[in-house]
Amino acid sequence: MAGIFAILLLFLGSSTPGRARTLYGLDHGPSNFDVVRFGAVGNGKRDDSKAFLKAWESVCQSTKPPTMTIPAGKTFLLNPTTFRGPCKSPAINIQVSGNILAPSSISSWGNDQEHWIHFKCVDGLSIQGSGTIDGQGHAWWPIKSAQETHALSFDVCTNLKLRDLHIVNSQQRHIAIHNSNTVYIKGLHINSPEDSPNSDGIHIQSSQHVNVENSFIATGDDCISIGDGTYDVNASKITCGPGHGISVGSLGKDGSRSTAEMIHVKDSFFIGTKNGARIKTWQGGSGFARNIIFENLIFTDVENPIIIDQYYCPNKGCKNQVNVSALISNLP
């Protein structure tokens, strides 16, 4: 009972009731910011990043709940771009009706290869629409990069909503949610080839109160991965495959302390995946993975439907760190 109370309080404390009401029924007049008005061309060849950033500046300064529109029938080429908050309006809407394309060659990226489309410190952000966001990852997949690259990433975003987006061919991870709170994801289509490395569908880390539902995820890595510092994460009605399943972890890498708590995965299909429901931890780490429920999952042609691996070692050659003599000397 005390536990339930604590959760409820957290939830109320982190969302402002007034915000939710302003999200819909917007006046599309002066608070509508079409990227074309800011100079975006949308021919799939010219770099439209500057125009997007100009539009974003106005969006972020708008006190009326703004909508940034990416119009249908066009394809906008976007170099790695950060959309930074905090913004003036407590609710910000981005309508993705057109397509967004990443540069096809890695040389268009600067030194920071961690993010393609990056939102930082933006509260009350809703991104929706059925335009395709294409990471053009083909150039990235054959190389082994030390850095993790994300197509669409969110860092320090409270009250985030993602709906109906199509995200394909990410460089590596398709969506990363970091340090964020109260996140609602629905109706996404995520699609990359089975042999694209590290192409997690949705990665959640250091984030609380995250709900993912009704989404189709086909990738070369985890459909959803729930990492360190997560609390109250639900995934339901997910269709996963191909991919490596829905994972909690990996936790405790390099002796670190990691936690994952109150995770609920239910009513989902796994088709042709390597794993289904998985918990993976490294040797030598500390912390916990607790209060995890996997419920009503249907596995078709899945290698390891349920796997709890405390010896996670994706690149082989991890030495067994169990101290056998200490174990034996402790025997009664």
Ligand X SMILES: *[C@@H]1O[C@H](CO)[C@@H](O)[C@H](O)[C@H]1NC(C)=O
Task: Please report the beta strands in 64-141, taking only residues with DSSP state E, as ranges in sequence order.
Answer: 67-70, 75-77, 81-84, 92-96, 99-101, 115-120, 125-128, 132-134
Q: Does 15 bind ligand X (CB under 6 A)?
A: no
- Which residue's CB is nearer to ligand X, number 55 or number 210? 210
Q: Nearest-CA neighbor of 181 among 223, 121, 222?
A: 121
Residues 101, 75 contacting (CB under 8 angstroms): yes
* Marked catalytic residue, from 134, 200, 221, 232: 221
State the minimum distance, in angstroms, from the CB of residue 235 to ligand X. Answer: 9
The residue count for binding ligand X (CB under 6 A) is 6
* Marked catalytic residue, from 118, 174, 209, 244: 244
Residues 180, 155 contacting (CB under 8 angstroms): yes
Print burial letters for 79-109: b (CB count within 10 Å at least 16), e (below 16): bbbebbbebebbbbbbbbebbbbbbeeeeeb
Interacting positions 172-231 with ligand X (CB under 6 A)? 209-211
Peptide bond into 86 cis (omega under 30): yes
State the minimum distance, in angstroms, from the CB of residue 262 to ligand X. Answer: 7
- Which residue's CB is nearer to ligand X, number 292 or number 313? 292
State the minimum distance, in angstroms, from the CB of residue 89 to ligand X. Answer: 24
CA pair distance 21, 162, nearest whole angstrom = 17
- Which residue's CB is nearer to ligand X, number 2 or number 143? 2
State the minimum distance, in angstroms, from the CB of residue 267 to ligand X. Answer: 11
Indicate if 200 belongs to the active site.
no
The dihedral over CA atoms of 93, 237, 136, 111, expressed in degrees to the nearest 10, equals 70
Q: Does 162 bind ligand X (CB under 6 A)?
A: no
Indicate if 221 belongs to the active site.
yes
Please state, as a whole number, how many other Cβ atoms lie within 10 Å of the Cβ of residue 30. Answer: 9
- Which residue's CB is nearer to ligand X, number 115 or number 209? 209
Q: Does 264 bind ligand X (CB under 6 A)?
A: yes
State the minimum distance, in angstroms, from the CB of residue 210 to ligand X. Answer: 6
- The residue from 69, 109, 232, 297 that contacts ligand X (CB under 6 A) is 232
State the minimum distance, in angstroms, from the CB of residue 237 to ligand X. Answer: 13
CA pair distance 156, 141, nearest whole angstrom = 28
- Which residue's CB is nearer to ligand X, number 82 or number 211? 211
CA pair distance 89, 79, nearest whole angstrom = 26
- Which residue's CB is nearer to ligand X, number 87 or number 279? 279
Interface residues with ligand X (CB under 6 A)?
209-211, 232, 234, 264
Report the catalytic residues: 221, 244
